[in-house]
Structure 1
Amino acid sequence: MHGDSTDASHYRLVCSVCGRRQADDGLTLGCAGQHEPGLWQTDYQATEFVPDASQSGVFRYRDWLPVRRTLEGTGRTVVHRSERLAAELGLDELWIAFNGYWPERGGDLTTGTFKELEAAAVIGRIPADAGTLVVASAGNTAAAFAELCSRYEVPVAIVVPASAVPRLRTRGPRSALVRLIAVEGADYADAIALSDALARLPGFVHEGGTRNVGRRDGLATVLLAAVETMGQLPEYYLQAIGSGAGAIAVHEAALRLRCSRPGPLPQLILAQNDAYAPVYRAWETGERLWESGSEEGQRRATELAFAPELTNRRPPYDLRGGLCEALTESAGDVLVADRGAALAAMASFQELEGIDIEPAAGVALAALRAAVAAGRIDTRASVLLNITGGGRARFARDHVLTTRQPDLTVPRAAVHDPASLAAIAAVAAVPGPLPAMA
């Protein structure tokens, strides 16, 4: 791995349930205490928000990242104040946190998604010779980890539904250290199940999703970039969610920032597909589809979703430090948007702001429009809209891209078949000695 070596002494892990504090080994995902589930959180020595002017990418915020090394050449969120879209929505102060490829504004996330932020922080967190990282994805996370693990020579096995493969396009060859496993007829939950099983085998290490503090604090840099540009916390924060890791991360960052910037927390206004909205249903009615809904019914619903990356069937909602807690503490809300409204929002952003955006971002913008129309948002307040992905069509016009083909494609039945796991692991494992990390 290429990068500047640091250490992990600038922060400690803290259990959100029992308060246990410990140094970070770069791999731990949960507290060993016998108590209800909860997320690790990070406690940094730095109490003031001071970006590192010597860094241009996500490691500009390394004082508030749980990393033991920095990586050269990463991208980050770019933030600007909207004029035309703000006027069309009737908002006095709309800020766009753009995560994607937009050369004219400095947008340099070449996979067109904010998942590059979390991938960079996860890679910066893991120790040398940790093993083969295992990542589950519905598409965007796969693209980000494939790109960054190729660039920084990190062994990784990425598990995706086969339907996500066409979205994994790149301008360069994939490293031999990056293994892609596709599951036919699967959804995101199946990919997670297979990755969980694979990560329990020797030589593999679980990336961990929302439980990984690297992932969450990497995503939290969206808010840090916004505050650096705006000079203050926004009053409202809008984002489309699947698991909600990004929303939890932004809320955690707001709590840190409030130590030196007193004031109310940003209200989280989160959005999901109307076809499948488990977090919306839980927030509005109290029904937990992941407990009461049938597997097959949920699977059919996810197939109807406009933005498949928003279809996490087991979101980190009820655990301590999770999504319900963040929504409650921020006086937040969850909305839904249908396919037509999201498509219209995507077209509107292209016309008024000048760049293409991804379906998930279209869902968020459609929800923002609905929230303004319903009077849910004070039109005089500062609003931060997280465009979680954009510029992908522009990137395809500017570069010659090829689709990343899987190293192995398996049927969905193999996900829960122990006899198939050894064959899958043989392909997923990176042969030979691991590369030395700086």
Structure 2
Amino acid sequence: MDLAGHHPSHYRLLCTVCGRRSPDDGLALGCPEPHEPGLLRTEYQSTAFAPDPARQGVFRYHRWLPVRRALPDTGRTAVYRSERLAASLGLAELWIAFNGYWPERGGELTTGSFKELEAATVLGRIPEEAGTLVVTSAGNTAAAFAELCARHEVPVVIVVPASALPRLRTRTPGGPSVRVVAVEGADYADAIALGDALAARPGFTSEGGTRNVARRDGLATVLLAAVEAMGALPDTYVQAIGSGAGALAVHEAALRLRCRPGHEEDPLPRLLLAQNACYAPVHQAWRTGERPWLTGIEQEQRAAAERAFAPELTNRRPPYDVRGGLHEVLTESAGRVRTADATAARAAMEAFRELEGVDIEPAAGVALAALRDAVRAGELARGAKVLLNITGGGRARLARDHELTAHQPDLVVPREAAYRAGEVAGIADRLALRDRRPVVV
């Protein structure tokens, strides 16, 4: 479904390093100029925050999305003011941004995760001649792209650690457009390495992860939906992070909202980010200055990541020091990073279910546990406007209401294959054959 008047000229790409502005071909992931790495951002012709009442789902915010088409039947964030959980935390104004399946609250994300927001926007951005998209995931992003690519018949290769396969369940069966590659003995970083290598092959296109402006602006709609409901920016924004794309997106959206006439002096939301206690590279970097992805021993990093309560938060190479990255947005927002262990996260998940009435995912449990600790430590004023991003939830309800399809891998490859050019070429050839039978390489 095309968006009238939304040729990609309704926005430009801005390099955060050199300030270069350029039109978007729908695939750009970085600036072509020779300089240090930096994230691209979007600049929209419209500076007004004007949700479109004629559209449903994430494309309600199409004026601030880098898209050329809208996908029908997409969901968006359901935002409401909490009473019971807020009271238990001792907060006067706690708002929940619920991203998942909860029909009574308007939660219609059919894979139970806010990754569906980014998948819809990425598919709305890419040109039709893009070729086969390559997406790397630790679980939730894989499910989101599998669902939407199957539904809209967009060719995609999804690369996941084999341990993530149980989370790859969707309402729409895979079909011939969706191919899954499982990497045995791998973590998220290994899957990324294989995905990058495959995307460099002819006929394949990298989705790009955090570097993709569509991913971040899709996730930014969490804040846009919240501002619609709240009438103002929150004082504090709370989210669990792996790569931190959602946190970057919310900060970028806050900067955009602050550019509206009369809002130039609005304070930016203070980011409160959370990670697993046993594996918290961003927390370590922010608190100590030590970058574990540069100084840590890989074997120790892998072992720590494997113990994580919420494995989707275990990105070993987060976009921290890159221009426009996590260090920059934490600094600009006077942000903080906390950790939560498995016991605290499980207790938080149970508390949310009892007090709010729906199940939430482990990552959201980590975020809620971190918020509880921050309140107890006196880091948040009782009257502060707090926005808690429940990044995934309602999956137990979803499984009761709908039949879900488990996606079986088309290829199963060893971790070492990601680092051998000859094996990557063979994997690409096998995928091009579109033989739906699983093959162990």
Normalised-by-shorter TM-score class: over 0.9
Residue in structure 1 matching 2:358, options 346, 355, 364: 355
Give deviations 1:13-67, integer Å, cap 9, x for gaps: 0100100010000001000111111000100011010100011100000000001
- Give how far 1:4 is off: 4.7
8 Å contact 2:239–2:391 — kept in the other structure? Answer: yes
* Structure 2 gaps, min length 5: 436-441
Consecutive unaligned residues of structure 1, counting only runs of 5 or more, are: 433-438
**Secondary structure at the counterpart of residue 308 of structure 2:** coil
Q: 1:70 aligns to what SS in structure 2?
A: coil
In structure 2, how many angstroms separate the alpha carbons of the residues matched to 1:311 and 1:299?
9
Matched ranges for 1:265-344 at <5 A: 265-344=268-347
Partner of 2:63: 63
2:423 aligned counterpart, secondary structure: helix
Q: Are the equivalent residues in 2 in contact too, given 1:132–1:430 (CA < 8 A)?
A: no
1:436 aligns with none
Q: AA paired with 1:280?
A: H
| Shift, 1:425, TM fit | 0.8
Residue 142 of structure 1 corresponds to 142
User: Partners in 2 of 1:103 and 1:304 — Cα distance?
Assistant: 33
Q: Secondary structure of the equivalent of 1:13?
A: strand
Contact 1:132–1:429 at 8 Å: present in 2 too?
no
Equivalences for residues 61-140 of structure 1 within 5 A: 61-140=61-140
Q: Contact 2:147/2:171 (CA < 8 Å) preserved in 1? A: no
Aligned equivalent of 1:391, options 380, 391, 394:
394
Q: Per the alignment, do residues 212 and 162 of structure 1 end up closer, same or farther by CA in structure 2, a change over 3 Å counting?
A: same
CA contact (8 A) 1:181 1:428 kept: no
Task: Give the whole-Å Cα distance in 2 for the aligned partners of 1:148 and 1:172.
Answer: 8
* Cα displacement (A) at 1:316: 0.3
Q: TM-score, normalised by structure 1?
A: 0.97
After TM superposition, the structure 1 = structure 2 runs for residues 421-432 of structure 1, keeping only pairs within 5 Å, are 421-429=424-432
The letter of the residue matching 2:13 is: L
Distance in 2, Cα, partners of 1:420 & 1:38: 31
**Bigger mean CA offset, 150-159 vs 341-350:** 150-159
Cα deviation, residue 378, structure 1? 1.1
Structure 1 CA distance for aligned equivalents of residues 175 and 8 of structure 2: 28
Aligned 8 A contact 1:4 1:71 in 2: no
Number of matched pairs: 431
Matches within 5 A, 1:41-56: 41-56=41-56
**Aligned mates of 1:142, 1:197 — CA distance in 2:** 18
SS in 1 for 2:189: helix
Counterparts of 2:85 and 2:407, CA distance in 1: 35
Separation (CA, whole Å) in 1 of partners of 2:23 and 2:431: 30
Would you say the 8 A contact 1:407–1:427 is kept in 2? no
Given that 2:186 and 2:415 are in contact with CA atoms closer than 8 Å, whether structure 1 keeps it comes out as: yes
Instruction: Tell me which residue corresponds to 1:409.
Output: 412
Aligned to 1:17: 17
Q: Is the 8 A contact 2:110 2:171 kept in 1?
A: no
2:371 pairs with 1:368:
yes
Partner of 2:31: helix, strand, or coil? coil
Aligned equivalents of 1:218 and 1:286: distance in 2?
30
What is the Cα deviation at residue 430 of structure 1? 7.1
Q: CA deviation at 1:429?
A: 3.2
After superposition, what is the alpha-carbon deviation per residue over 1:131-162, rounded to whole angstroms, capped at 9, x for unaligned? 11001000000000000111111111000000
Hey, what's the Cα distance between the residues in 2 that align with 1:252 and 1:334?
A: 18
Q: Residue 155 of structure 1 contacts residue 430 of structure 1 at CA under 8 Å; is this kept in 2?
A: no
RMSD, matched Cα = 1.2
Q: Any idea what SS the aligned residue of 2:100 has?
A: strand
Letter in 2 for 1:407: D
- CA deviations on 1:293-324 (whole Å, 9 max, x unpaired) are 01111000000000000000000000111110
Q: Distance in 2 between matches of 1:274 and 1:202?
A: 41
Letter in 1 for 2:116: E
State the SS of the aligned residue for 2:163: helix
Secondary structure in structure 2 of the residue aligned to 1:134: strand
Amino acid at match of 2:40: W
Give the partner amino acid of 2:106: G
Partner of 1:157: 157
Q: Deviations over 1:213-267 (max 9, x none)?
A: 0000000000000001111000000000000010000000000001123410000
Cα distance in 2 for partners of 1:429, 1:3 equals 29
Specify the alignment match of 1:26 in structure 2.
26
Deviations 1:175-201 (A, max 9, x none): 211100001111000100000100000
Letter matched to residue 344 of structure 2: A
- C-alpha change, 1:158 and 1:145, in structure 2 (3 Å) is same
Residue 356 of structure 1 aligns with an amino acid whose one-letter code is D
After superposition, give the CA deviation of every residue in 1:297-356 in whole Å (9 maximum; x if it has no partner): 100000000000000000000011111000000000000000000000000000000000
**Aligned pair 1:232/2:232, yes or no?**
yes
Shift of 1:427: 3.2
CA distance in 1, matches of 2:120, 2:240: 21
Distance 1:107 1:429 in 2: 37
Cα shift at 1:421: 1.1
Q: What is the deviation of 1:411?
A: 1.1
Residue in 2 that maps onto 1:435: none
Q: Which amino acid aligns with 1:248?
A: L
- Contact 1:98-1:389 within 8 A present in 2 as well: yes
- Name the CA distance, whole Å, in 1 between partners of 2:357 and 2:281: 33
Aligned equivalents of 2:293 and 2:51: distance in 1?
40
% identical equivalent positions: 71
The residue number in structure 1 matching 2:246 is: 246
Q: Secondary structure at the match of 1:380?
A: coil
